[in-house]
Structure 1
Amino acid sequence: MSTAQWIVTLVGLGLITWIVWYFWLYRRESVQAHAKEGGMQEVDVTVKGGYQPAVIEVQARQPVRLNFTRREASTCGEEVVLPAFGQRAHLPENQTVPLEVTPAQPGEYEFTCGMNMYRGKIIAR
């Protein structure tokens, strides 16, 4: 095998390793939702190369307002889907779109982009 082939192989393996780490193994910090007047829990979520924060801790059986703001032109972030709640929303660039859900039980509830590449979750306790 020539030097060029080794370099291409090593770069390819490095790229594959980075993709696996970023999309499946990287653990993002969790954020606790803040309770507002009337018991509504609220969190601001920025969409830019993923969700920030991607892990949101809330109280079960209390309403949660997620304020999604898309800060990128990528088409991947144009839509957010919350399958457990039967909700989806279009996210125009640089506009905040609130979504309200109420986790009925403790557990984990996933949310994704329309292409299922960006991933986040709500952890209800």
Structure 2
Amino acid sequence: MDVTKIIILVVAIALIGFILWWFFGKHDEAIGKASVNQGTQEANIVVNGGYSPSTIVLKQGVPAKVNFDMQDSTACLSHVVFEQLGVNKDLTKQKITTINIPTDKKGTYNFACGMDMFHGKIEVK
């Protein structure tokens, strides 16, 4: 086996390792909390190559709004879908899109991009 084949083999193994880590590895998850003002809680999620933070914690029983700040023009991230709530919002129509989240009972509301590649969740505690 010559040097070129060895280099190609090493690069291929490294690339496969990176792909496995990217899709299946445990990554740190950013968790945000809502701020409460005048009886309403509000949280912000930046949409830029994913969702940051990807998890928001809300207080049960306090009306809540989650603002999606669109900073990425990727087609996949142009929509946010809350399947459990029946919400499918186009984030490209305005810089910040607000979605009301029900907080009458504890639970988790998962959301994803329009292609279901990027995910996040809202936890009502």
Could you say which TM-score interval applies, normalised by the shorter chain?
0.7 to 0.9
Identity %: 27
TM-score (structure 1 length as normaliser)? 0.85
In structure 1, what is the Cα distance between the partners aligned to 2:96 and 2:85?
20
In structure 2, what is the Cα distance between the partners aligned to 1:103 and 1:57?
11
Q: Is the 8 A contact 2:108 2:123 kept in 1?
A: yes
In structure 2, what is the Cα distance between the partners aligned to 1:30 and 1:83?
21
Shift of 1:93: 7.0
- Aligned position for 2:84: 84
- Larger CA Rg, structure 1 vs 2: 2
Letter of the 2:92 counterpart: P
Match of 1:6 among 4, 9, 12: 9
Deviations 1:26-65 (A, max 9, x none): 131211111121x221011110011111110001233211
Cα RMSD, aligned residues only: 1.9
Query: What is the count of residue pairs matched by the alignment?
Result: 122
In structure 1, what is the Cα distance between the partners aligned to 2:54 and 2:101?
16
In structure 1, what is the Cα distance between the partners aligned to 2:59 and 2:45?
17
In structure 2, what is the Cα distance between the partners aligned to 1:75 and 1:63?
31
Q: Give the number of the structure whose residues are more often helix, by fraction.
A: 1
TM-score (structure 2 length as normaliser)? 0.85
Q: Is the 8 A contact 2:91 2:97 kept in 1?
A: yes
CA distance 1:46–1:93, shift in 2 (3 Å) = farther
- Aligned position for 2:30: 29
